[in-house]
Amino acid sequence: MFPMQAFHSPFSAKSGSTFDDLSASLGDTSPLPTEDALVQLGRALMTELLDVISDTALEDFQTILGEALIGAFHSAVGRIERDADRARDTMRSLDRDFDGSEAADVELQEATAKARAGDAATQACELIRDAASETWTVATGEVWTAWRGSRRGTHLTAAQLEAKQAIRAIRNRRAGDADPGGPVVAFRGAPTADTADDAGRIFDALNWALKEWPDMALATTGAKGSEKLAIKWSRQKGVKLILARADFDTHGKAAPFRANDELIALEPTCCLTLVQSLDRARSEDRRPFGPALNLGQKAMESGLRHVPIKARAA
């Protein structure tokens, strides 16, 4: 069903020089660090954290500490970006009311410089964040996702938005970043389906979907195991990611199924499911994963296309 395609690691790709070009264009007497230096900083910070806590009592809190480090730079991105946006608002206001005076010209130049400096600082923080995130994934196999707001990647990363945000955009078709744009492909898979065999078939299925719908967005709950593998794929391919997170605080044990309701509300063009690991050696739990079964059932009840991911034919 899904032709086999090569899967290349997103972490081996060489960064472009967009940031360095932007830095050079600022013409500031105080230069910015190079892109390579910022990427190295992000990697070094995460590597140092993991080295220090490894084999200590803090290793039990590794996920919290790692995500906190990445999240700190993500938060900085948002704060600096808001400052730059305010400077752009000032620019537009000054440009609209420009009277040709020297004072007004100085004000406009200062607002322009502040906005451009903010854009450069935002990109710098994104480079550090993404390098730390990639190092985290390589070291632990876990994928960091922004828990608040949308994530704009600097390179080789996908845009990310929350399911509720996307559902609103689909219902009213308002313009804006929240609109998933193209067709949505939903995916749910078993947490235990995280072996090499599982990854191969998940990537086959998603590559097939991308070939069928080149402007697709991938919707998933971000649960561990197979869904984390799907998120890795979306990052590598630059496919927009929609997260319908299970809210256990509100819905308790029903949370994974409520998340399925959000996936269905996105009106996906296709629902892909992997109900259990395809690795025959993984025999500790051969029971199908209930939430993945549930999504397939809801898709068929709603008249949506459902494609179960199965082992490759012998």
The pLDDT tens digits of the residues spanning 128-170 come to: 998 898 888 777 767 777 654 444 444 434 455 556 666 566 5
Dihedral, 23, 25, 26, 31 alpha carbons, nearest 10: 40
- The topology under which CATH files domain 160-308 is Rossmann fold (3.40.50)
3-state secondary structure labels for all residues of the chain = CCCCCCCCCHHHCCCCCHHHHHHHHHCCCCCCCCHHHHHHHHHHHHHHHHHHHCCCHHHHHHHHHHHHHHHHHHHHHHHHHHHHHHHHHHHHHHHHCCCCCHHHHHHHHHHHHHHHHHHHHHHHHHHHHHHHHHHHHHHHCCCCCCCCCCECCCCCCCCEEEHHHHHHHHHHCCCCCCCCCCCEEEEEECCCCCCHHHHHHHHHHHHHHHHHCCCCEEEECCCCCHHHHHHHHHHHHCCEEEECCCCHHHHHHHHHHHHHHHHHHCCCCEEEEECCCCCCCCCCCCCCCHHHHHHHHHHHHCCCEEEECCCCCC
Q: What is the pLDDT along the chain (314 residues), one digit of tens a residue?
A: 554 443 333 333 344 456 766 666 666 657 888 888 999 999 999 999 999 998 899 988 988 999 899 999 998 988 988 888 888 888 778 777 777 677 777 787 887 888 888 888 888 998 999 889 888 877 776 777 765 444 444 443 445 555 666 656 655 544 444 555 679 999 999 999 988 889 999 999 999 999 999 999 999 998 888 998 998 898 888 888 888 888 888 888 999 999 999 999 988 999 999 999 988 877 556 789 999 999 999 999 999 999 999 987 66
| Domain regions of the chain by residue span | 15-140, 160-308
